Amino acid sequence: MTTPDTPALPDDLTYEQARDELLDVVNRLESGGESLAESMELFKRGEALAALCERYLTEARTTIEAAREA
């Protein structure tokens, strides 16, 4: 879910791409080399990426559970 403050992510971003970019965002934030404004933008991007990864994982979990029930 995006809000006006949350950056939109490309529709074709795979789980692996989102995960890798999220790891990059975390590493950049942990390094502390960004300005406050850049850090805030990175944090917002990271939240959006984390939500996308969670959505992918939830969909996969639902698919697996449905397959088990069949």
Distance CA 41, CA 6 (A): 9
Cβ–Cβ under 8 Å, residues 50 and 22: yes
Report the Cα–Cα distance between both ends of the chain, in Å, rounded.
31
3-state class of 68 per DSSP?
helix
Give the number of other Cβ atoms within 10 Å of residue 65's Cβ. 10
| 34 in a structural domain | yes
> How many domains does the chain fold into?
1
pLDDT at res. 51:
95
pLDDT digits (tens, 9 = 90+) for 10-67: 889 999 999 999 999 999 999 999 999 999 999 999 999 999 999 999 999 999 999 9
**8 lies in a domain?**
no
Q: Is the residue at 33 inside a domain?
A: yes
Helix (H) or strand (E) holding 45: helix 36-69
pTM: 0.83
Per-residue pLDDT at 1: 47
Is 2 inside any structural domain? no
The pLDDT value recorded for residue 57 is 97
Which domain does 56 fall in, by range? 15-69
In this structure, is residue 61 part of a structural domain? yes
pLDDT higher than 90, residue 2: no
